[in-house]
Amino acid sequence: MNTPSSITQRSDTGHNKKNELEMPSHLSALDGFRGLLAMWVYLGHLANSVGFKNYVLGMHALAVDLFMILSGFLMVYTWKTAISFRHTFSFSFTKIAIPFYANRFFRIAPLYYFLLIICFCFLPVLAEMHDATHKLIPPPWAEGLSSYNPHTVWDFSNFKWLFLHTTFAFGAVPGMESSTPLPGWSLSLEMQFYLIMPALLLMFGRIHIILLAALTAVLAFYAPSLFGNYLTPGSIAHFGQPSFIVYRLNAFMAGLVIAVWLRNRQLEKPSLMVNVYTVLASVICILPLSKPVILGYALFIILVLNRSFILDQLFSLKPLRFLGNISYSVYLSHILIVIPIVYWLVNQHAFLALDDSIRFVVAVGLTAPFVILIGYVLFRTVEIPATRLGHYFLNR
């Protein structure tokens, strides 16, 4: 059955060439957007570590929601063959799905594995520094606890840990979502999305887009009560982070819906009903998320639709695009820089005597150069070679 939400992937070579010529594969403004999100996470973690209270930085976890929206958008927006609303989506598993999975693996896994090895080599020291810092400056969520005694347990020694982290399944197992110093739970969440994305696209052609959006929104709404909400256990399980796909499938879907609409617009002018369904589906997907994320989603739509020349130029500035290029390395590695430097700082009595805002400025001055430099080095020496290696295997 064909509905306004249906998608097709055509094999006509001429049609694909036309689509690829008309469809820009890269949006420079989104590089800047992604770079700022990575810096938001880094600065938010740093602010918590030195006891600096700031409303915006305190919401840094929301950047991950916007990362998920971006991911859902880009996976469809950069799909190599034509997509339309008119017909049922279909694809060859060997020709489309396997290369897609391989491409995403080589994009994400090598850097994560490399940093896990670094963590393993320095695990006892990192845990000791982490706990000592938190004992002197408790994290915001622990400030109301009368007897807070941090004791971090990062156990890399058992087969379960090795299997779950090498397969990225750890985020779907309660209690494993924060089992390394790295902020890797979001990577597991993203890999879960990649795993189901082809099936999700197949569902587009068989289930109305509004029903799909409503399903993801219902999952997001009930997930905290069923599977836990940070420190609060759920009725079924207790995830300390929203690392299970049901928490944030709606965020991926919010980006995916916009990408499908844009791809369809390259082929034909969308009908009024297609536009209405797209808007309604987007609103339904985004409603379970917080108000700041909804505002960020509005900014994201302005950027992808090129509705503001000033914003487009601002987010396309070279420094922001540079941060976008190294954003994955910055996001994943920054905590390994923040932990030892902040540990050294909090053991200086003069530093602890400073006002919290001054402490934050000093910490930024000491950590930012290393975060950006190491992020760039990892981008050049790990990310790029790994991506090229993936292309080499796929093109053989």
Residue 373 inside a domain? The answer is yes
- Residue pair 290/252 in contact by the 8 Å Cβ criterion: no
3-state secondary structure of 229: strand
Classify strands 83-84 and 8-9 as parallel, antiparallel or unpaired.
Answer: antiparallel
Q: How many distinct structural domains can be found in the chain?
A: 1
CA angle in degrees (0–180, nearest 5) for 312-25-85: 100
Residue 224 inside a domain? The answer is yes
**281 phi, psi to nearest 5 deg:** -65, -40
Q: Name every residue whose Cβ is closer than 8 Å to that of residue 118 and which is 6 or more positions away in sequence.
A: 336
Give the number of C-alpha atoms closer than 13 A to the C-alpha of residue 27, restricted to the C-beta side: 23
Eight-class DSSP state of 271? P
Q: What is the model's pLDDT at position 264? A: 82
Residue 11 inside a domain? The answer is no
For residues 251 and 5, give the distance between their C-alpha atoms in angstroms, rounded to a whole number. Answer: 18
Q: Name every residue whose Cβ is closer than 8 Å to that of residue 125 and which is 6 or more positions away in sequence.
A: none
Residue 129 inside a domain? The answer is yes
Q: What is the model's pLDDT at position 200? A: 84
Residue 70 inside a domain? The answer is yes
Residue 291 inside a domain? The answer is yes
Q: From the centroid of its chain, how far is CA 284? A: 20
For residues 76 and 83, give the distance between their C-alpha atoms in angstroms, rounded to a whole number. Answer: 9
- 229 bridge partner residues: 232
Q: What is the model's pLDDT at position 212? A: 93
- 11 bridge partner residues: none
List alpha helices for 237-326, DSSP H.
245-267, 272-286, 291-304, 309-315, 318-325
Residue 16 inside a domain? The answer is no
pLDDT digits (tens, 9 = 90+) for 18-70: 444 344 545 889 999 999 999 999 999 999 999 999 999 999 999 999 999 99
Give the count of beta carbons closer than 10 Å to the beta carbon of residue 264: 22
- 84 bridge partner residues: 8
* Domain of 200, in residue numbers: 31-142+150-395
Ranges in the chain, pLDDT < 70: 1-26, 79-94, 144-146, 205
Q: Which residue has the tokens 């950069």?
A: 78
**pTM for the whole thing?**
0.89
pLDDT digits (tens, 9 = 90+) for 164-181: 999 999 999 999 998 899
- Residue pair 2/88 in contact by the 8 Å Cβ criterion: yes
DSSP labels for 71-139? HHHHHHHT-SS-EESSS-----IIIIIHHHHHHHHHHHHHHHHHHHHHHHHTHHHHHHHHHHHHHHS--
Residue 371 inside a domain? The answer is yes
Q: What is the model's pLDDT at position 12? A: 37
